[in-house]
């Protein structure tokens, strides 16, 4: 299930509404970009390292819908200036607060007449 959230300027968060696709395809996969910088000094055996925080998870959710109308509505649902929360029952590691980022929202019809909506995301760490 996806939850659409709006954050007020004072930091309060309001739940706007929910979207429940027929299925969110798995297996769940996400990656995290490291940002450590290694400085190899010229004409020296000395190596310096700058440690920066690891970025939040990033990936693509694939939500499945039974009709093109539902998939089209879902595609539009993800276009606003909101944060979203993905929650998968029984999988606490798959609960992710995210912003749509890092690619294009897309819609595709499958051979079984179901519809996929691909949602690129970047985890938001607060």
Residues in the chain: 126
pTM above 0.75, yes or no: yes
pLDDT tops 70 at residue 94: no
> What is each CA distance from 93 to 12, 28, 53, 123, in whole angstroms?
25, 9, 20, 12
Q: Can you tell me the mean pLDDT for 60-81?
A: 94
């Amino acid at each position: 299930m996806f939850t659409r959230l709006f954050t007020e300027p004072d930091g309060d968060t309001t739940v706007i509404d929910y979207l429940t696709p027929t299925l969110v395809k798995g297996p769940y996969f996400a990656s995290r970009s490291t940002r450590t910088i290694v400085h190899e000094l010229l004409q020296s055996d000395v190596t310096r390292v700058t440690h920066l925080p690891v970025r939040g998870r990033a990936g693509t959710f694939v939500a499945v819908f039974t009709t093109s109308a539902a998939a089209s509505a879902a595609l539009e649902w993800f276009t606003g200036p909101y944060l979203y929360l993905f929650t998968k029952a029984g999988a606490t590691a798959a609960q992710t607060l995210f912003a749509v980022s890092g690619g294009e929202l897309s819609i595709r019809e499958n051979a079984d007449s179901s519809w996929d909506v691909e949602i690129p995301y970047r985890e938001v760490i607060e």
